[in-house]
Amino acid sequence: MTLELVCPAGNLTSLKAAVDHGADAVYIGFRDNTNARAFPGLNFDEAQAAEGLRYAHDRGRKVLLALNTYPQSDTWQRWTAAVDRAAKLGIDAAILADAGLMRYAAQTHPRLRLHLSVQGSATNHEAVNFYRAHFGVQRAVLPRVLSLAQVENVARHTDVEIELFGFGGLCVMVEGRCLLSSYCTGESPNSAGVCSPAKAVQWRETPAGLESRLNGVLLDRYGGDEKAGYPTLCKGRFEVRGETYYALEEPTSLNTLDLLPAMLKIGIAAIKIEGRQRSPAYVAQVTQVWRAAIDAAKRDAANFAPTPAWQAALDKLSEGQSHTLGAYHRPWK
């Protein structure tokens, strides 16, 4: 039974760390806004991508390329050039969100394997099968908003392989359907490849506490003993009817180790670890834990239980040092 472990890499060191610690596939992006982690200093130029591919292929692993922002009209060629480069490099699959770009890829490079990005917002089998019928998409990454029962229903009604997020940052909104970041800063994942971009973040010590702002908008204020996290817009504290709380989502991470047997049973093709912006050390540790967990679940799903050591290791790496099953577990909604 296959259940691939797909790990993130923002640079060559991370890619090697992922491969060395047991990733079946590593996903990367080019060094521009053609992918949803368009951060300064992150990502791969063509030579680095080629070296990463060599490193992975020599060890029997795959490299996937995220081209999952929406091409803008006046710079359309940047995205098609990236698709061309991916095909030329021999990338194992390109992860796309935009239908027009998928049409280009399918027509121009029919042998390039296509995955539907989570940014494509496909939340049901009719949508997944649409991309299969028109572009021959072979795998779909589902948004982190479906319950496991809903995931199972999608999987039952399609030949397209299903990939799920297993660990890392938790998007509380449907990916590809969230413009909160551009409302506040002018830049969204869809059009700029960033969410709550670092250049818009301001920290300020005030008598009321440490304040985090995004383009001037107060996202949170921390008391002396509170741990301040990266000010992602949806994880701030706000006021609603006189009550101040995490109105959208707590600063928590997704961790679905507990669900591994269920995912195996449904026939999920791959589990994705979020975090191309994270360090090589992070990638190494998360990959190592997930490799061990997946192997254990494959050996004996019936008696599988995450070990306390795995959970402790992952919790230490989690945002807010806490984790949730997210929408896979229905009460979260």
Partner 1 sequence: MNLSLGPLLYYWPRDDVFAFYEAAQRWPVTRIHLGESVCSRRHLLRLSDWLALAETLAAAGKEVVLSTQTLIESESDLKTLRRVVADGRFLVEANEWGAVRLLSESGMPFVAGSTLNVYNPQTLDFLARLGARRWLPPVEMSRAALAALLAHAPAGIETEVFGYGRLPLAYSARCFTARHYNLPKDDCRFRCLDHPDGLPLATREGAPFLALNGIQTQSAGVYSLIGELPALASLGVASLRLSPQSRHMARVVAAFDAALHGAAGAAAELARLLPGPAVDGYWHGRPGLEHGAPSC
**Chain contacts with partner 1 (rule: CB under 8 A):** 70-74, 76, 97-101, 103-104, 120-127, 129-131, 133, 145-147, 150, 153, 172-174, 176-180, 182-186, 188, 190-191, 215, 217-221, 234, 236-241, 243-244, 247-249, 327, 330-333
Least Å from the CB of residue 294 to partner 1? 25
Tokens linked to 87: 């095909």
For partner 1, give the closer residue by CB, 230 or 332. Answer: 332
For partner 1, give the closer residue by CB, 1 or 208. Answer: 208
Burial of 214 (0-12, 13-18, 19+ CB in 10 A): buried
Amino acid at 202: Q
For partner 1, give the closer residue by CB, 59 or 157. Answer: 157
Least Å from the CB of residue 73 to partner 1? 4
Least Å from the CB of residue 124 to partner 1? 5
Least Å from the CB of residue 36 to partner 1? 13
Least Å from the CB of residue 70 to partner 1? 4
Tokens linked to 178: 């969230």
For partner 1, give the closer residue by CB, 92 or 220. Answer: 220
Give the count of beta carbons closer than 10 Å to the beta carbon of residue 317.
Answer: 21
For partner 1, give the closer residue by CB, 68 or 287. Answer: 68
Q: What are phi and psi of 77, to 5 degrees?
A: -60, -25
Cα gap 231→250, rounded to integer Å = 11
Tokens linked to 31: 């060094």
Least Å from the CB of residue 311 to partner 1? 24
For partner 1, give the closer residue by CB, 147 or 311. Answer: 147
β partners of residue 5? 271
Q: 280: left (phi > 0), else alpha (psi -120 to 50), else beta?
A: alpha
Tokens 């490193």 sit at which residue? 55
Decide if 73 contacts 84 (C-beta within 8 A): no
Cα gap 309→45, rounded to integer Å = 37
